[in-house]
Amino acid sequence: MLPILEIKELKKHYPVKTGLFGRVTGVAKSLDGVSFSVKKGETFAVVGESGSGKTTLGKTVLRLIEPTSGSILFDGTDITELGTEPMRKLKTDMQMVFQDPFGSLDPKWTVRRILEEPLRTHYKLPQEELLKKVNDILEVVGLTAKHASRYPHELSGGQRQRVGIARALILEPKFIVFDEPVSALDVSIQAQVLTLLEDLQSRLSLTYLFISHDLSVVRYISDQVGVMYLGKMMEIGPSEELFTNPLHPYTKALISAIPEPDMDKRRERIVLSGEVPSPRKPPSGCVFHTRCPHAMPECGSVQPEWLEVSANRYTACHLYHK
Ligand code: SF4
């Protein structure tokens, strides 16, 4: 299967300003040389703690945030080179669903107006066609035409997230970025929304970039997983392989913290010391070396190269260069 998305050496650096006059004294590296590709029809999940850069990555891929450097190839076109109008047209193919549906839906608008808005922005459609499209998309996400006249506060959390998904789908995109789409929902509702996302993916041949800190959710939904720490990719691999045989010490620590009811499958919990350093002052060498249980002398000064350890398994760690 061909990649629909290829990210190469993507960087997003912000100037760090201090003092009364906002003097620039450094840079915060929210994304620092991230590369990966996503095949058509698959779900690529990005995991990491808060501050890892995963949300910045999702927004930069859609150019809601402009990258500092690097390339974003979508369907073979480098979208970092596109001007405003071609990028606006391309946005019908690339959509985003946010974590907090309550915050991302205008509370003063009915569901109908929320869903009509993207269509009005991109197309000139007669009113009866708008009406039909809204009713159809509500049905696709498991709601009914009755929900069209409601306001966001009149819906449950799960229904609001279905409206968020419907708003992303109404332009018939090929690719959707989900930023923590179920983390604000109860566990039982999470399962329903995840099942809906799987069903929509196979029915509509969609490709997903799925951002989450919840490894159980990621294991359930993803085909490939990328693990981020301080703006860098630590490891990428096929989901099941990565969960059963993690390579990078950071991935091992994250996975050891997943609750496992089966005693035989339980891993010894790896507790990392210290806090995640600030992206304003990332450690030299391997950015994980200040917390890594396997750190060696060279880890503090030499940045590990990105290495294909085995077929489709990639990591950046000096342990695999030996
Ligand atoms: Fe740990 Fe060194 Fe590997 Fe970094 S490069 S993860 S510090 S062993």
Mean pLDDT of 253-275: 82
Read off the CATH number of the domain in which 260 is found: 3.40.50.300
In a domain, 152, yes or no: no
Instruction: Give the residue, by CA position, lying nearest to ligand 1 atom 3.
Output: 317
267 within ligand 1 shell (Cβ under 6 A): no
ipTM exceeding 0.90, yes/no? yes
Q: Into how many domains does the chain fold?
A: 1
Q: Give the pTM.
A: 0.94
Ligand 1 centre to CA of 286 (Å) is 6
Task: Please give the number of the atom of ligand 1 that sits closest to the Cα of 234.
Answer: 6
The pairing of strands 175-179 and 94-97 is parallel
Q: Is 33 part of a structural domain of the chain?
A: yes
Ligand 1 nearest-atom number relative to CA 289: 7
Residue 227, strand partner residues: 47, 235
Residues 6+ apart with CB under 8 A from 84: none
Is position 272 within any domain?
yes
299 pocket-lining for ligand 1 (C-beta < 6 Å): yes
| Ligand 1 mean position, distance from CA 322 (Å) | 12
pLDDT above 90 as % of the chain: 81
Each residue of 107-163: pLDDT tens digit?
999 999 999 999 999 999 999 999 999 999 999 999 999 999 999 999 999 999 999
Report CA(32)–ligand 1 centroid distance (Å): 17
Neighbours of 220 (CB within 10 A): 15
For 272, residues 6+ apart whose C-beta sits below 8 A from its C-beta are: 250, 253, 291, 293
Does residue 220 form part of some domain?
yes
Instruction: Report the separation in Å between the CA atom of 73 and the middle of ligand 1, taken as the mean of its atom positions.
Output: 30
125 within a domain of the structure (yes/no): no
**Domain residues for 313?**
3-93+173-320
